[in-house]
Amino acid sequence: MYRVLKPGGVVAWVVGDATVNGEKTLTSYKQAIYFQEIGFKVYDVIIYEKTGSGPPHKNRYFNVFEYIFVLSKGNPKTINLLKDKPNKWAGQETYGVVTRREADGTLTKKTKKVINKFGIRTNIWKYKNGRGQTTRDLIAHGHPAIMPEKLVEDVLNSWTQPGDVVLDPFGGSGTTAKVAFLLDRKYIYIEQVQEYYNLAKERMKNYDE
């Protein structure tokens, strides 16, 4: 990924940990540290909170998150942070009083008006997952591990622009390809299992034809 990524390009690595022999694998951490060691900048870390993954465990808290490691080659060339966190100060007359000393030595107090209704979102992104939530494309559910389309949309809107190339080397049901296409990005899809490749190709017929 590092080799084929253009300078300023970004990888969004979505990963959770398995529990094996009664303990968490921490594969996510190991991968993140490795990415940093080989030259990636770990530009951001986002928690992808979901409705749930797997059945609850009777001796362990119910896991409802994965990581999204945002890795860049140098600084990202595109950063469009999503602004959808309701701003509780929106519309208020006074917020943050700024005191300024004028040239004649007097002090003036200026009130800052907060115009935006929404602020930049936090680094916990919540999506519903499971059947009917990740996508409305029924065909996609032939794949066992689909990502929510909205997650891909948010990632692409944050760190890419129309015309950019988006590559998913673990293409699965084709979620990234579909969303990239609908957002006017070019896409490259790679998948090792023939059945999933066929499924994604069939799914994409509804969009890219």
Ligand X SMILES: C[S@@+](CC[C@H](N)C(=O)[O-])C[C@H]1O[C@@H](n2cnc3c(N)ncnc32)[C@H](O)[C@@H]1O
Interface with ligand X (CB under 6 A): 143, 145-147, 169-170, 172-173, 175, 190-193, 196
Least CB distance from residue 156 to ligand X, whole Å?
13
Nearer of residues 14 and 90 to ligand X, judged by Cβ: 14
Write the CB contacts of 160 (distance below 8 Å, at least 6 apart in sequence). 10, 78, 166, 183, 185
Q: How far apart are CA 148 and CA 131, in angstroms?
A: 10
Nearer of residues 164 and 191 to ligand X, judged by Cβ: 191
Residue 139 is classified by DSSP as G
Nearer of residues 24 and 141 to ligand X, judged by Cβ: 141
Nearer of residues 158 and 173 to ligand X, judged by Cβ: 173
Of all residues in the shown chain, the one whose CB is closest to ligand X is: 172
Least CB distance from residue 46 to ligand X, whole Å?
16
Least CB distance from residue 173 to ligand X, whole Å?
3
What sections of the chain are H helices per DSSP?
27-37, 149-159, 175-182, 194-204
